[in-house]
Every structure is written in structure tokens, then in C-alpha cells.
């Protein structure tokens, strides 16, 4: 319904209402009233007529009487007839009896005309009441029509005025608004009035002006932004959540060799070499499903693929923006080919120079050493001091060059580590010995606290770990006051060992904490000259510890001192002397939040499980390489990897394919949904904060259902048993017997998946057992003496102690167990 109709309708309805009220209520009521009063009214007229006629009748003036009555009849059409009789009942009027015309409802009214109590004459009046009403009605209808006509004219006039004053301006306004909506901003409305419509138009015109101004501002702003983007030195690329390129600025065109026309709409993968190209969808999918950011918001180096197929290094920064309901990713790309070239040249230069410096420096040090060693007593004291200064500084220069070379190696990924299992306590003692002279020269005492960890072994590169010790101890000594002491503590924490070096020096300011492990970082630049050192020590130490699978960090309180510590995974079972059967399954906790990891470990411990903590994926990989675990508790968000990727990686690796994994994550629910297809690979998903009861039940389910192979090792030498147990623990359910009789008893009582036999036993030959071993159960001879060909035929494998390596034993056991399974 248009406005015109809406404006007209109320007036029209009002008109209809009034007309209806008039026609159906007022008029009938009025007619009823009139009918009621008609006879009364006729009577009063007859009274008047009586008065008029009386004198004429008294005068016998019939002519006047006739004339009067003729006029009355002419006036009152509905009076059908008047008959006038004199007192002798002679008809005075009319001259003849007349026929009554009307067929309607006739009424007769008679009236005597008296004078002084004498009857003069008598009326008989025939009245057609219907005609009277008709006449009255005709008058009323005329009146009604007149009123309704006036109303109708008023209604039409109102509508016309509404149309002119309201609808026409609004229609014009609507047209202008439509024009503006279509972008015709020059469309304008001229209407000046102080009424509401006028105010509306004024407000509209004002809004119109504002829109025009804002559009202008927007155009200017967009042009400015476009100019910035077009002229940016860095490539700026916008993609949608499916990876389709939406914008590609001129710098990006220049970097990649594509024009924006040909690249827009393509997938961003086209700009990446393998393996990034293949993996990109996965990154995007992982981010969108887990919200775990690998690149977004974090700058990183990557490789780009130009249109001509060449690749180049680039710096990539990706940020995410939300525009309306759409998520977009903006990538800023900088071609760092030149920078890389320069970096490489710089590294090569430093390496070359350092190596070139080393040779003459070796000669200088050698010469100085010879002079100071052999001819010291012949040198005057003054000269000796100078020579000692020269020697000390040549030593420092050597360290510095070594440090620089180490750093170059580390950054080039060329640090070659020689792993071996060593006692950390022994290593700490050696480090103290090596650095004692330096400490002594600073009048600082070195103290070692290593109670109870004498047997703790770690798998490390001794030389590099000593380098870390040296760095931490020399730093602590440097910042200690004279006669103070530096404490080196070796402490076992579950399956890790922590080494801390603690001083009572000035401490490290909190604002420096983020840079402490950076190269050439020193809390106070004046420290270099005051305290000596290259500023590379902590950076090198961190690189070494990370490569050894540990972590390094520090705690410090200003004015009280600092404590630098590193943690390394143990490769022994500590001092625990439990039998293999009673030993609870070992669990690996991969969690970067140290506090949560500790809580989890404690809970597991209370439940009778031992556990080790890996703060990152790299560390977890090292633990998993070293030994089998019954369960992995995995946080999805790790500092160096996406948990989901890590699970996939574990599933691809032979050793960890079947490893039960419980995921612990703040996003466990969300991630589990996206992991539906592979749900079997994850035993359970636990949402943070963790419901420990659920964790406990999930673990006991998993571990109770553990169907590990059961092995019996028959061996009289307890050292061998200890080594084998250490080797096989986790892989199998290890059981052992030291005598033939004990072995027979165990074989009778239990079913074993594999039996390892030493031939020479205190109470007989191990070969006797062969007859008692179930068919199908593989047997490995592991003996000091070489087995004959005949024996070899009877068993599945033969190994000779001292010749066969540990690895060989494990491999053989695993292979045979796999075959039987």
C-alpha cells in the first residue's frame, strides 16, 4: 500500500464512518421521532387553520374560506382532502365530493370549529401520512446528501492537501534516495519548509552531504593506502582461508615475476617450492582447525618460487585480519637473497679470518708458554708480568676465536656431537678441576653438591658439555666477590638431571632476561672490559644444551645472585632398585609448561608410574629414540612443533607407531573433532584444565591392557642381567632366572614369548631348558662361549657376549618377537 493510499484511507474511513452513522443511526432515529410527532404537529396546524378560518366562516365569506383551504391543500400536498361542513352538515368545501388519490396509509382527523360554545363548522382532513413522511424523508435525504457531499469534498480536499504537502515531497525524497543508493550522488532535493517533512528533507540533505564527504575521504584514504601498498618495497599478498590470492602488490610482482592479473585467484602454493608447496594446505588446515599458530604473527624465513622456476630465500610475516565475516591472511615478503649472500660472505670471512688467526696465535702461545715455563726464573720480575699479560690475552684471544668458530658452526648446523654415556657427577668434578685455576685467580671457591647422583648417567658429548660447564662457571666466578664461592649442584629430578651453577653476585636485571642468551649479550656493556669474556658463552651453551636434548635457563634476584641451570635426560634408572616386574610402566610427558609437567609427573608418581618430562618435541624425540615408553602424554601446543604434526610424525616411525598417546591440550576438544578420521591413533583427548581422575583411569586402562611380550632371561651373572634389563625394559616384560632349576620352575609357571639362555649355569647347561620351552617360543642363546652349528640349528638366534653389541641383542629380540606376533 503506497503512501497516497495510506494518507487517503483514514480520511476515507472517517467519511464512511460518518456517512454510515448518519445513514444508519441518526436518520432512522430522526424519522422515528418525526413519525411520533407528526400527528401532534398536524393537530397544531389544524388549530392554526381553525383560527384563520373562524372569522370568514362567521362572515359566511366562503370565497375567502375556499381560497384559504385551496392554499392549504396546495401547500400540504400530503393532505389528500379537506372537507368542511357547516353546523347543518352542509358541505362547504369542496364544492363536490372528490375521490381520494392516494392508495397509501390515509388517516382522517376531524375538528370542530366553535365560536362562543357554538359549533360553527367541522373539518374532516384526510392525511396521507406516508406521503408526509416521504416528503419529510426526501428533505432528510437531501440534507444527508448535502452533508455527505460536504464531507466528501472535505475528504478529497484533505487528501489533495496530504498529497501536496506530504506525499509529493516524500515521493521526491524517495526518488532522490534511490538515486543516491544507485550511486548518483549529484541527485539533490530542493524543498524548503519548517514542517516535519521539511526537517526530514533538510536532515536527508545533510546526511547526503556527509556521505559525499565520507566517500570522498574514503576514496582519498583508499588512494593513499593503495599508493603505500603499491610503493612498498616489500611484497604484500592477501589470501583467503582457502589460500586463494586476493591481492598482489607491484613489489610482489617484481619479486615473483608474476603480474597481479595472472596470479590473483591462484593458490598461494604456486609461489612456494617443495616441500612447502605440498605442505601448505596442511599448515592452513591445522591453523584453521586448531588455532595453533606456526607462522602467523611470527616472522620466519622461508623459500619462494619465482615464475621462472628459480627459488630464493625470503622473510615472511603473516598476519591475520578479520574483514566483516571474512578471515584474510596478509603476507609481507622480503626477498633476502642479497642479505643471505652477505651473511654467507660474512660467515666465510669470519671463519677464514679466524682460522688464519689461529696459526700465528698457536705459535705465539707456544712461544710464550715456553718462555714462561722454562725461562721464567731468568726473566726479571717486571718483564715476567708483561709476558704473563701477553700470555693471558693470547689465551683469551684463542677462546674468543674458538667461540666465534663454534657459533659459526652452530648457526651453519655443523656442530658435530660425539655422544657417549657418561656419569654427570664425574663430568662436573672434571669441570671444577679444569676451572679451579680460573676461580682461584679470582679468589673464588668452587663447591660441588652431587649427593646421591654418582651413578646418574647422561648421553652427551663430553667435550661440549664441559664447554657449557666452563662458560657457566667462568661467568659465575666473574660476577662473584672475592672470597665468595660458586656452588655447582647436580640433582636428579625423576628421569632428568639438573646441573645448576649458583653465585652470590649482583644478579641480572629482569629487563635483560629476554636477551641473556643472545650473542654478544652482556647485562652491562661495560662488563666486557671489566669482566672480560666474549659475550658468546651463553649463546653457545644454549645451542649445545638444546642439541643435547636439554634445556637451559636461569633464575636471578638482584643483589642476591644468579643461578644458571641446565637439565638433561638421564639414560639410567637412577638409584631405584626395583625388580623389572614390579617396575611401573614408564611414561613420557611432553609438555612445555614446566609447572604443569611437574604436577603431572607427581600425580603419575603417586599412581605408581615413573615419568620423564620433555619440554619440547625435539626433546621428546630424543627420549623416544633412547627407549620405548608405555604412554605419551602430549600437549598439542609445543614451542617447536604442532602436536598434531608430531603425532603424525610418530605414527610414521616404526618404533612409535603403536605408542599410546593421550593428548592434553587447551584445544583438545576442538582438535579431536578435526582428528576424527584418525581417532584410533590417539587413545584419549583431555581438555585443560585436566580432570586427573579421567587421566588416571585412561592411563590404567591403557597400561592394564598392555600386551607386552614376556621374556625370560636365564643368566647367572647379575651384571649382565642388569644391563639386559636396562636395554629391554619398556620393550618387553622382563623376567629373569639365575639358575637352571629356577628357570625350569618359571617356565612351568608362566608363558613366555621369548627365552634368552646362557649355556653355562651353576646347576647345569642352559641347553637342557630347550626341551621345556613351548613350541613356537623363540630362543636366543646369549653366552660367553661361541655356539656350535648344531646348537644354532635348534635355536632362533645365537649371540656371543663381548662380541655382540647391546644394539645387536635388542634388534634380535625385537625381530624374533615381531616374527612370532
Partner 1 sequence: MNVRHVNMTAMLSRLKWLPLLLFLSNGTVAGEVYSVGIVPQFESRQITHIWQPILKEVSRRSNIQLELKASPNMVAFEKQLKEGVFDFAYMNPYQAVTSQQMQGYMPLLNDNGRKLFGIIVVKKDSPIRSVQELDGQQVAFPSATALGATLLTRAELARKFNITLNGLYVKSHSSAYLNVITGTAIAGGGVQNTLLQQPDAILNKLRVLYTTDTVPSHPISAHPRVLPPIQAAIQQTFLDLGNDKKGRQLLANIPIKKIGPATISDYEPIKNLNLETFLTGVTSQ
| CA dihedral sign of residues 783, 789, 791, 795 | positive
Q: Measured from the CB of residue 49, what is the shortest distance to partner 1 in angstroms?
A: 18
Query: Of 54, 64, 448, 531, which one interacts with partner 1 (CB under 8 A)?
Result: 64
Angle CA 732–798–821, to nearest 5: 40
d(CA 581, CA 750): 13
Q: Measured from the CB of residue 46, what is the shortest distance to partner 1 in angstroms?
A: 21
Concatenating the DSSP letter of every residue in 117-166 gives TEEEEEEEEEEEHHHHHHHHHHHHHHHHHHHHHHHHHHHHHHHHHHIIII
For residue 232, what is its C-alpha cell? Answer: 612498498
Residues 6+ apart with CB under 8 A from 59: none
- Which of residues 90 and 377 has its CB atom nearest to partner 1 in the complex? 90
124: contact with partner 1 by CB under 8 A: no
Q: Measured from the CB of residue 60, what is the shortest distance to partner 1 in angstroms?
A: 4
Q: Measured from the CB of residue 150, what is the shortest distance to partner 1 in angstroms?
A: 40
- Which of residues 58 and 321 has its CB atom nearest to partner 1 in the complex? 58
363: contact with partner 1 by CB under 8 A: no
With CA atoms as reference, report the closest residue to 115 among 68, 54, 62.
54
- Which of residues 1 and 95 has its CB atom nearest to partner 1 in the complex? 95
Residue whose C-alpha cell reads 653389541 in the numeric block: 805
Q: Measured from the CB of residue 67, what is the shortest distance to partner 1 in angstroms?
A: 7
Q: Measured from the CB of residue 137, what is the shortest distance to partner 1 in angstroms?
A: 34
Q: Measured from the CB of residue 84, what is the shortest distance to partner 1 in angstroms?
A: 9
67: contact with partner 1 by CB under 8 A: yes
With CA atoms as reference, report the closest residue to 57 among 97, 94, 88, 86.
86
Let me know if 161 is exposed, middle or buried by CB neighbors in 10 A (0-12, 13-18, 19+): exposed
- Which of residues 53 and 318 has its CB atom nearest to partner 1 in the complex? 53
CB 728 within 8 A of CB 811: no
Query: Of 15, 30, 66, 506, which one interacts with partner 1 (CB under 8 A)?
Result: 66
d(CA 536, CA 105): 134
- Which of residues 86 and 436 has its CB atom nearest to partner 1 in the complex? 86
Q: Which of residues 44-63 bind partner 1 (CB under 8 A)?
A: 56, 59-63
- Which of residues 90 and 192 has its CB atom nearest to partner 1 in the complex? 90
In order of 266, 386, 398, 448, the CA distances from 274 in angstroms are: 17, 60, 42, 52
Q: Measured from the CB of residue 63, what is the shortest distance to partner 1 in angstroms?
A: 3
For residue 389, what is its C-alpha cell? Answer: 699479560
Residues 6+ apart with CB under 8 A from 244: 265, 266, 267, 268
- Which of residues 81 and 504 has its CB atom nearest to partner 1 in the complex? 81
Judged by CB under 8 A, the number of residues near partner 1 is: 15
- Which of residues 70 and 320 has its CB atom nearest to partner 1 in the complex? 70
- Which of residues 40 and 89 has its CB atom nearest to partner 1 in the complex? 89
Q: Measured from the CB of residue 58, what is the shortest distance to partner 1 in angstroms?
A: 11
- Which of residues 60 and 697 has its CB atom nearest to partner 1 in the complex? 60
For residue 503, what is its C-alpha cell? Answer: 653465585
d(CA 391, CA 381): 15
Q: Measured from the CB of residue 86, what is the shortest distance to partner 1 in angstroms?
A: 7
Q: What is the DSSP letter of 102?
A: -
- Which of residues 1 and 63 has its CB atom nearest to partner 1 in the complex? 63
Q: Which SS3 state, helix, strand or coil, does residue 231 take? A: helix
Q: What is the 3-state secondary structure (H, E, C) of 440-462?
A: HHCCCEEEEECCCCCCCEEEECH
Q: Measured from the CB of residue 163, what is the shortest distance to partner 1 in angstroms?
A: 58
Q: Measured from the CB of residue 132, what is the shortest distance to partner 1 in angstroms?
A: 27
Q: Which of residues 655-714 bind partner 1 (CB under 8 A)?
A: none
- Length, in residues, of the chain: 821
- Which of residues 82 and 407 has its CB atom nearest to partner 1 in the complex? 82
Q: Which SS3 state, helix, strand or coil, does residue 563 take? A: strand
- Which of residues 75 and 190 has its CB atom nearest to partner 1 in the complex? 75
Q: Measured from the CB of residue 110, what is the shortest distance to partner 1 in angstroms?
A: 19
- Beta-bridge partner residues of 422: 458
Of 64-72, 277-285, 492-500, 535-543, which part binds partner 1 (CB under 8 A)?
A: 64-72
Q: Measured from the CB of residue 126, what is the shortest distance to partner 1 in angstroms?
A: 20
Long-range contacts, stretch 151-156, CB < 8 angstroms, 24+ apart: 151/15, 151/18, 151/19, 152/15, 155/11, 155/12, 155/14, 155/15
- Which of residues 28 and 55 has its CB atom nearest to partner 1 in the complex? 55
Q: Which of residues 84-123 bind partner 1 (CB under 8 A)?
A: 86, 90-92, 95-96
Residue whose C-alpha cell reads 492537501 in the numeric block: 161
Q: Measured from the CB of residue 81, what is the shortest distance to partner 1 in angstroms?
A: 15
| CA dihedral sign of residues 404, 410, 414, 416 | positive
- Which of residues 72 and 781 has its CB atom nearest to partner 1 in the complex? 72
Q: What is the 3-state secondary structure (H, E, C) of 28-49?
A: HHHHHHHHHHHHHHHHHHHHHH
Binding mask 266-305 for partner 1 (x = CB under 8 A): ----------------------------------------
Applying CB under 8 A, the residues found at the interface with partner 1 are 56, 59-64, 66-67, 86, 90-92, 95-96
Amino acid at each position: 500500500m503506497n503512501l497516497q493510499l495510506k494518507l487517503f484511507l483514514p480520511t476515507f474511513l472517517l467519511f464512511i464512518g460518518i456517512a454510515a452513522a448518519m445513514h444508519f443511526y441518526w436518520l432512522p432515529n430522526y424519522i422515528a421521532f418525526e413519525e411520533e410527532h407528526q400527528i401532534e404537529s398536524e393537530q397544531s396546524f389544524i388549530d392554526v387553520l381553525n383560527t384563520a378560518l373562524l372569522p370568514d366562516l362567521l362572515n359566511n365569506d366562503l370565497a375567502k374560506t375556499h381560497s384559504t383551504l385551496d392554499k392549504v391543500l396546495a401547500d400540504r400536498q400530503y393532505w389528500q382532502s379537506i372537507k368542511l361542513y357547516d353546523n347543518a352538515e352542509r358541505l362547504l368545501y369542496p364544492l363536490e365530493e372528490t375521490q381520494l388519490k392516494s392508495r397509501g396509509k390515509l388517516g382522517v382527523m376531524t375538528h370542530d370549529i366553535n365560536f362562543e360554545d357554538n359549533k360553527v363548522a367541522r373539518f374532516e382532513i384526510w392525511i396521507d401520512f406516508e406521503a408526509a413522511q416521504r416528503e419529510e424523508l426526501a428533505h432528510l435525504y437531501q440534507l444527508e446528501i448535502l452533508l455527505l457531499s460536504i464531507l466528501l469534498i472535505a475528504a478529497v480536499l484533505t487528501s489533495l492537501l496530504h498529497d501536496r504537502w506530504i506525499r509529493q515531497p516524500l515521493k521526491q525524497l524517495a526518488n532522490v534516495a534511490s538515486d543516491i543508493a544507485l550511486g548518483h550522488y549529484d541527485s539533490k532535493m530542493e524543498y524548503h519548509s519548517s514542517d516535519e517533512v521539511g526537517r526530514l528533507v533538510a536532515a536527508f540533505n545533510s546526511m547526503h552531504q556527509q556521505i559525499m564527504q565520507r566517500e570522498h575521504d574514503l576514496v582519498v584514504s583508499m588512494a593513499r593506502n593503495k599508493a603505500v601498498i603499491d610503493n612498498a618495497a616489500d611484497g604484500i599478498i592477501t589470501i583467503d582461508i582457502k589460500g586463494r590470492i586476493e591481492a598482489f602488490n607491484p613489489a610482489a610482482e617484481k619479486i615473483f615475476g608474476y603480474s597481479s592479473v595472472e596470479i590473483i585467484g591462484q593458490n598461494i602454493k604456486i609461489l612456494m617450492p617443495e616441500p612447502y608447496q605440498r605442505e601448505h594446505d596442511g599448515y592452513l588446515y591445522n591453523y584453521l582447525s586448531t588455532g595453533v599458530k606456526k607462522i602467523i604473527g611470527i616472522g620466519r624465513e622461508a623459500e619462494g618460487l619465482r615464475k621462472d622456476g628459480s627459488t630464493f630465500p625470503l622473510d615472511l610475516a603473516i598476519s591475520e585480519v578479520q574483514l566483516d565475516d571474512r578471515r584474510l591472511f596478509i603476507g609481507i615478503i622480503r626477498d633476502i637473497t642479497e642479505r643471505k649472500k652477505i651473511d654467507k660472505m660474512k660467515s666465510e670471512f669470519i671463519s677464514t679470518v679466524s682460522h688464519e688467526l689461529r696459526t700465528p696465535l698457536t705459535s705465539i702461545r707456544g712461544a710464550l708458554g715456553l718462555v714462561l715455563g722454562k725461562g721464567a726464573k731468568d726473566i726479571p720480575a717486571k718483564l715476567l708480568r708483561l709476558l704473563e699479560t701477553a700470555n693471558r690475552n693470547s689465551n683469551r684471544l684463542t677462546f674468543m676465536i674458538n667461540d666465534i668458530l663454534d657459533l659459526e658452526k652452530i648457526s651453519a648446523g655443523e656442530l658435530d656431537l660425539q655422544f657417549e654415556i657418561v656419569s654427570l657427577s664425574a663430568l662436573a668434578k672434571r669441570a671444577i678441576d679444569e676451572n679451579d685455576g680460573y676461580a682461584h685467580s679470582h679468589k673464588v671457591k668452587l663447591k660441588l653438591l652431587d649427593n646421591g647422583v654418582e651413578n646418574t648417567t647422561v648421553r652427551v658429548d663430553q667435550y661440549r658439555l664441559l664447554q657449557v660447564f666452563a662458560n657457566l662457571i667462568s661467568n659465575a666466578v666473574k660476577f662473584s666477590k672475592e672470597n665468595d664461592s660458586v656452588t655447582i649442584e647436580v640433582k636428579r629430578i625423576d628421569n632428568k638431571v639438573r646441573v645448576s651453577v649458583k653465585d652470590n653476585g649482583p644478579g641480572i636485571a629482569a629487563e635483560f632476561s629476554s636477551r641473556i642468551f643472545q650473542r654478544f649479550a652482556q647485562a652491562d656493556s661495560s662488563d666486557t672490559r671489566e669482566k672480560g669474556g666474549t659475550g658468546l658463552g651463553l649463546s653457545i651453551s644454549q645451542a649445545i644444551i638444546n642439541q643435547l636434548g636439554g634445556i637451559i635457563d636461569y633464575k636471578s634476584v638482584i643483589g642476591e645472585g644468579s643461578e644458571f641451570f641446565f637439565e638433561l635426560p638421564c639414560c639410567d634408572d637412577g638409584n631405584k632398585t626395583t625388580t623389572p616386574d614390579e617396575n611401573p610402566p614408564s611414561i613420557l610427558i611432553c609438555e612445555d609448561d614446566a609447572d604443569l609437567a611437574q604436577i603431572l609427573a607427581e600425580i603419575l608418581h603417586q599412581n605408581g608410574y615413573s615419568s620423564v618430562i620433555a619440554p619440547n618435541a625435539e626433546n621428546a624425540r630424543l627420549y623416544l629414540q633412547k627407549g620405548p615408553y608405555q604412554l605419551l602424554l602430549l600437549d598439542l601446543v609445543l614451542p617447536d612443533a604442532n602436536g598434531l604434526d608430531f603425532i603424525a610424525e610418530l605414527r610414521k616411525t616404526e618404533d612409535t607407531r603403536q605408542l599410546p598417546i593421550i593428548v592434553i591440550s587447551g584445544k583438545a576438544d576442538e582438535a579431536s573433532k578435526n582428528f576424527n578420521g584418525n581417532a584410533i591413533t590417539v587413545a584419549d583427548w583431555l581438555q585443560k584444565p585436566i580432570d586427573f581422575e579421567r587421566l588416571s583411569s585412561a592411563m590404567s586402562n591403557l597400561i592394564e591392557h598392555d600386551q607386552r611380550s614376556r621374556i625370560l632371561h636365564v643368566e647367572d651373572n647379575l651384571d649382565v642381567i642388569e644391563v639386559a634389563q636396562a636395554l629391554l625394559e619398556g620393550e618387553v616384560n622382563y623376567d629373569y632366572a639365575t639358575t637352571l632349576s629356577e628357570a625350569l620352575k618359571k617356565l612351568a609357571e608362566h608363558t613366555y614369548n621369548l627365552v634368552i639362555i646362557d649355556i653355562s649355569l651353576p646347576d647345569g647347561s642352559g641347553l637342557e631348558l630347550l626341551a621345556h620351552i613351548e613350541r613356537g617360543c623363540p630362543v636366543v642363546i646369549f653366552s660367553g662361549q661361541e655356539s656350535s652349528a648344531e646348537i644354532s640349528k635348534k635355536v632362533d638366534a645365537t649371540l656371543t657376549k663381548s662380541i655382540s653389541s647391546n644394539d645387536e641383542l635388542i634388534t634380535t629380540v625385537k625381530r624374533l618377537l615381531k616374527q612370532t606376533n
